[in-house]
Amino acid sequence: MNPSLPARPAPPDTKGDGATDASLRLRAVHRAAADLRRGAPVLLVGAQTLVLLAAETAQERGLAEFFALAAEDPVLLLAPARAAALLRRPAQAEATVQALRLNAVLRRPAALRSLADPTAEQIIAASPTPAPAPADAATALMLTKLGRLLPAVLAAPARRAPPEIVLGVAAADVLDYPASLSIGLRPVAEAHVPLEDARDARVVAFRPSDGGIEHLAIVIGAPETVAAPLVRVHSECFTGDLLGSLRCDCGAQLRGAIRRIAEDGAGVVIYLAQEGRGIGLVNKLRAYALQDRGLDTLDANRALGWAVDERSFLPAAVMLEALGVRRVRLLTNNPHKLAALAACGVEVVERVGHVVPPNGVNDRYLAAKARRLGHLLD
């Protein structure tokens, strides 16, 4: 094995224009995830330097660049559940990532996509075989998840002197990214937005320090003047909130929360940009396709290589603190959300149930949430 590439020196601190070393590190992770999304290889600098290429977005040009940078034959890094399905064996309970060795046929773009995505056309070819996972393999998968890609990535030790145009990112910065992003949330805009069920409402937008997607707070009345206002922490759901999908209860919960808070006089809906319990809209649609084949909501996420719930509630805690709300009555059926917010420093003085009756389409979905996730729907 060739010696690992040393970490590149950090860019100069440009505090004069508002950027700090911390924000530059966040930007580097954001850019690396974006490069993986567009099918370009990136370097992950940790215990060794790995060259990475996302399986989902791999094309001929990206593969050629990847192999020009690789010092050894690559492995495909997958979540244990997806690897177990390909190997047709039980998943390793203690594993966080599984490495597979591929033959030449399986390194083609269409084959890589079929290995990553159980909803894609499955390519008939020789099977992959298990291989040792490199150091920082779990961090490599985390980087693909940050890009809302399927957690499947080609990885190989990098050659000693890759071109400067290839983006490198420190493994430690990838690991720190979610918490750093949440802590750096700042309000950037707000406006009075009268709603059908809450005329005295305003929307406050919070932007992360890497310039990424904003989270929103729907503030009704003056919750900062109430000892423990009613609060709903709601993860965005394009299909339910906007389209009125019957597959879930999200849209009804959002509208119902706004009505209940308005009736209560004051409160907040924290609207987190964490579609599909944090897996993103594209992956949620893939999960729906797997549910149509018989899997429930939990097993569909796992089949794609994601955890059952990938959300972080630290952004909600930071936003509530900025709004002057430190004690809440939480409108939720999810006991895990109570514990998660408490762990982030929010004092939850009461859980207020928020049950929406099944509609004939989402009955199985709600039953799975109650039976397997412990949601309190009675």
Residues tagged active-site: 309, 311
The residues, any chain, with a CB within 8 Å of residue 363's CB and separated by 6 or more, are none
Residue 16 DSSP code: G
Dist CA 152 CA 149 (whole Å): 8
The residues, any chain, with a CB within 8 Å of residue 270's CB and separated by 6 or more, are 215, 216, 217, 231, 232, 233, 234, 315, 316, 319, 320
Dist CA 134 CA 47 (whole Å): 9
DSSP 80-92: HHHHHHHHTS---
State the Rg of the chain over Cα. 22
Q: Give the distance from CA 20 to its chain's centroid.
A: 25
The dihedral region occupied by 215, where left means phi > 0, alpha psi between -120 and 50, and beta the remainder, is beta
Dist CA 155 CA 143 (whole Å): 12
Which residue in 170, 211, 204 sits closest to 321, CA to CA? 204
* Partners of 327 in beta bridges: 347
User: Per the structure block, which two tokens stand in for 171?
Assistant: 């493994």
